[in-house]
Structure 1
Amino acid sequence: MKTLPFSEEKLREIIAQYPTPFHLYDEAGIRDTARRLYDAFAWNRGFKEYFAVKALPNPAILKLLGSMDCGTDCATIPELLLSKAAGLTGEDILFSSNDTPGEDFALAHKLGAIINLDDITHIPLLESVCGIPETICCRYNPGSTFTMTNCIMGDLSDTKFGMTKPQLFEAMKLLRDKGAKRFGVHALLVSCSMEQDYYPQLAASLFRLAVELKNETGISLSFIDLSGGIGIPYHPNEAKVDIAAVGRGVQKVYDEILKPAGIELSIYTELGRFMTGPHGYLVSRVLHEKHTYKDYLGLDACAANLMRPAIYGAYHHITVMGKEQQPADHTYDVTGGLCENNDKFAVDRALPKTVPGDLVVIHDTGAHGSSMGYNYNGKLRSAELLLKQDGSVALIRRAETPQDYFATLDCCPEFDLSETETE
């Protein structure tokens, strides 16, 4: 049974000030998850979580996580600027990009971020725009030798990310020769894994790589970045990944592989979905009920607010507020208003009898929800709110307006839409 950190009464109080649809994030839940992660890896001196900004790119959330000693994992200039706006600079930022423009490297270097190189051919570009920093990281792709994959990432030999082992070793030697002194290796090999063994298996693979790298090149790694990949239970009957057990599993292979080799290094993670996913909710209202060949509930939200069900067929649990105890004896497709037939939050979903005006809450939208929003059909992205620990609510991103949608037409004065009527 999925639960909510707010009551129907509290939600109606919020809606009286902020109209639906909106994403609502639970500060207490986010803080609790951060504490549990750090407790799980407390055995590792230097452990640090670099929150994947792409999951929830809002400076209020980044600042919240920063207060829990989390850094940020960035891939673009706007994500770097969001981190800076949240007060994060220096090695609190890890810049992990691919097919990277030179100006992105330049800003990352200016902010003092740890730069993670996706390919050996990026070394000359990095050197030309900002020089080789003393601390550097390289992304590793082991190909089909790592067998724990899933349908999101697929066969690692087919993914565009990372270097082969020979390329990685060559890159490390080249970077050392160009002045780098502190080295790290990064790998993201699956997405949304519910396998408790994923991190321990990945860590074991990278720890063995670290030993081989030291023996072959004399380079000792300072850190290994396990990146993200840990999933969350979207379905009500799924168990959470036990992060404490994951931490113990990584510690076990650390002691077995690295300690005998005399290697001591820090563990980094770049979790996004795990950190904030379960603590976000898309709040919407039923606009229409339609009965043709199927029964439909049309919401005031659409795939522009939450794309995952439309592109992945992903499951997101739905609560009809005030009807939690009623039998789920009706079957609906829950849809938005886009001119696309895949604009559906649920297909053949069993719910209580639901009517126009009912409030619905779509669970687990705290990662890759609002961040994947878009403006197809002229749909406008919704507001983001933060439910604070004291029960108050803060607006952390306002809803878009038609004027926002037209703002980039300021290069065409013949299309002056600044005074466009919206009512």
Structure 2
Amino acid sequence: MKKPFVTDEKLKEITATIPTPFHLYDEKGIRENTKAVKQAFSWNPGFKEYFAVKANPNPTLIKIMGEYGCGCDCSSLTELMLADAMGFSKDQIMFSSNVTPKEEYILADKLGGIINLDDFTHIDFLEETLGAIPEVISCRFNPGGLFKMSNGIMDNPGDSKYGMTTEQLFEAFRVLKAKGAREFGIHAFLASNTVTNEYYPMLAKILFELAVKLQKETGCHIKFINLSGGVGIPYQPDETPNDILAIGEGVHKVYDEILVPAKMGDVSLCTEMGRFMTGPYGCLVTKATHEKHIYKEYIGCDASAVDLLRPAMYGAYHHITVMGKEDQPCDHKYDVTGALCENNDKFAVDRMLPKIEPGDLLVIHDTGAHGYSMGYNYNGKLKSAEVLLKEDQSFEVIRRAETPKDYFATLDGTSEYKKMFPNG
């Protein structure tokens, strides 16, 4: 059974000063996990984790991981601006985007970040935009077909909009080298949220064999190989968490089998994990506000899909703990909902939980990645606060909740705004 990283007593202390809903993060868990990732790949001297900013763009959390040498994986102009504002630069930034506008390539180059090209046609576009191809460049690979692991996990790269085909990748390296690139990287992302220690070693084998062939046939020096993300977390209570130390050793074994004999033992490895880095170390704290008894039993909360979109968007499972009732039997079946005018605004469907009464605090687990970051303002709902539970058990707001003033701010200066708010 999943247990929250915060006690009922501590949560009542927090909610006495910070109104629900809010996302709560576990500083101790993030630090310990980041150290474990660093240890798992310590055998590779050039290893670097580029935290996927898209997963959680909170500067406080990113700076914590930065203390252990993590960089930023950015995918947009504002994410690049955020990384820059936090002091990240040059090889601390990996820029992996698609359908990329000129201004994003310009800023990535200005910051000295490593550009990871998603498409063959972007080579000429990048050269025209920057005036020259950077000396260090990466390309994203899509092998097509299906990617299947022995434990039944399958993804379909052939149906993905990302990356280059095998033929395009080889031609891209030749063209980029002719245009002045001197050092190359390979990147691939083939499966999402894998809860298995097999994924990274299997992906590494594909990319290592590809790297040997690329370097031999194109003469391009492979400087780094980026395993991207895909290492997942156990959203379901009966799932076994990944063992990052075992994963690191599995990649090490493949590295020694393939790259070292090919005299490519100087290749650095990168990862771009988001979910694994912060996912389990965040939760959405919400209060039960209403109960409804019609064809089903409903519990209404003050949080909604604007605070956590994954259940509405994917039907994703997030475990729920009713605080203070952890030891009570789960003998009531509920749909746990928000207040949006959409019937998919549900955190749980037909979920067996203890009896819930208005005023009970609910902890919705595993929202530390792709939680707050996927929020929006439908129905005029305002995004909630983010709170850090520190190692010493004190807490602080690391992003305030939005206010109606924030909601209307983008109208400021328009004639309609002036009519609506003549006094500013």
Same topology, TM > 0.5: yes
Describe how 1:90-101 pairs up with structure 2 within 5 A: 90-101=90-101
- Please state whether the residue corresponding to 2:249 is helix, strand or coil: helix
Partner of 2:172: 171
Partner of 1:65 in structure 2? Answer: 65
1:151-174 Cα shifts (integer Å, max 9, x gaps): 999421121100011111111111
Contact 1:148 1:190 in 2 (8 A): no
Aligned partner of 2:160 in structure 1 is: 159
Give the length in aligned residue pairs: 421
| Distance 1:279-1:337 versus aligned 2 partners, 3 A rule | same
Which of 269, 272, 275 does residue 270 from structure 1 map onto?
272
Cα–Cα, structure 1 residues 338 and 95, in superposed 2: closer, same or farther, change >3 Å? same
SS at structure 2 position matched to 1:143: coil
Long gaps (5+) in structure 2: none
Q: Distance in 2 between matches of 1:272 and 1:207?
A: 23
| Residue in structure 2 matched with residue 181 of structure 1 by the alignment | 182
Q: Deviations over 1:358-415 (max 9, x none)?
A: 1111000000000000111111110011111121212111111111111111242333
Matched residue of 1:170: which SS?
helix
Q: Which whole-Å CA distance do the structure 2 matches of 1:308 and 1:146 have between them?
A: 24
Report the CA distance shift for 1:46/1:419 in structure 2 as closer, same or farther (over 3 A): farther
3-state SS, counterpart of residue 136 of structure 1: strand
Aligned partner of 1:349 in structure 2 is: 351
Distance 2:391 2:86 in 1: 19
Partner of 2:325: 323
Residue 358 (structure 1) aligns with: 360
Report the AA paired with residue 141 of structure 1: N
- TM-score, length-normalised on structure 2? 0.96
How far 1:220 sits from its partner (Å)?
A: 2.5
The corresponding residue for 2:283 is 281
Alpha-carbon distance change, 304 to 153 in structure 1, aligned in 2, over 3 angstroms: farther
Name the CA distance, whole Å, in 2 between partners of 1:297 and 1:239: 29
Which residue number corresponds to residue 128 of structure 1?
Answer: 128
Amino acid of the structure 1 residue aligned with 2:369: A
Partners of 2:21 and 2:337 lie apart in 1 by 13
1:75–1:96: 8 Å Cα contact kept in structure 2?
Answer: yes
**Partner residue of 1:302?**
304
Give a deviation string over 1:282-301, Cα, whole Å, max 9, x none.
00000101111111100000
Matched, 1:36 2:36: yes
Would the alpha carbon gap of residues 360 and 284 (structure 1) be closer, same or farther in structure 2, given more than 3 Å must change?
A: same
User: Aligned pair 1:200/2:201, yes or no?
Assistant: yes
- The answer as to whether partners of 1:55 and 1:368 remain within 8 angstroms in 2 is yes
Identity %: 61
Q: Does 1:109 align with 2:100?
A: no
Q: How far apart are 1:311 and its partner, in Å? A: 1.1
Rounded to whole Å, the distance in 2 between the matches of 1:196 and 1:287 is 41
> Aligned AA for 1:338?
L
Q: What is the CA–CA distance in structure 2 between the aligned matches of 1:151 and 1:23, rounded to whole Å?
A: 33
Is the partner of 2:416 in helix, strand or coil? coil
Match in the other structure for 1:209: 210
Question: Could you tell me whether the CA contact under 8 Å between 1:149 and 1:189 is conserved in 2?
Answer: no
CA contact (8 A) 1:150 1:193 kept: no
Matched, 1:368 2:362: no
The verdict on how the C-alpha distance between 1:343 and 1:34 changes in structure 2, with shifts beyond 3 A counting, is: same
Contact 2:149 2:198 in 1 (8 A): no
Task: Give the aligned residue type for 1:37.
Answer: V
Q: Distance in 1 between matches of 2:244 and 2:23?
A: 26
Cα-to-partner distance string for 1:72-91 (whole Å, 9 max, x where unaligned): 10000111111122221111
Residue 68 of structure 1 aligns with an amino acid whose one-letter code is Y
Aligned partners of 2:152 and 2:16: how far apart in 1? Answer: 42
Aligned residues: CA RMSD: 1.8
Q: For the Cα contact (< 8 Å) 2:4–2:321, is it kept in 1?
A: no
Structure 1 gaps of 5+ residues are: none
C-alpha distance in 1, partners of 2:84/2:303?
31
In the other structure, the counterpart of 1:227 is 228
How much does 1:146 deviate?
Answer: 4.0
AA of the residue aligned to 2:317: Y
1:383 is the counterpart of 2:374: no
Other-structure match for 1:118:
118
C-alpha separation between the residues in 2 aligned to 1:420 and 1:284? 35
1:223 is paired with a residue whose SS is strand
Q: Is the 8 A contact 1:220 1:263 kept in 2?
A: no
1:420–1:52 distance in 2 versus 1, CA, 3 Å: farther
Superposed CA deviations along residues 171-212 of structure 1, whole A, max 9, x for unmatched, are: 111111111111100000111111221111100000000111
1:147 CA displacement: 3.7
Aligned pair partner of 2:407 in 405, 408, 421: 405
C-alpha distance in structure 1 between counterparts of 2:9 and 2:111, whole Å:
45
SS in 2 for 1:384: strand
Give the aligned partner of residue 144 of structure 1.
145
**Aligned-partner Cα distance in 2 for 1:399–1:420:** 24
Aligned match of 1:260 = 261
After superposition, the C-alpha distances for 1:120-164 in whole angstroms (9 at most, x for unaligned) are 111112112222111110000011164449999942112110001
CA contact (8 A) 2:133 2:181 kept: yes
Determine the C-alpha separation between the residues in 1 that align with 2:174 and 2:374. 38
What SS is found at the alignment partner of 1:415?
helix
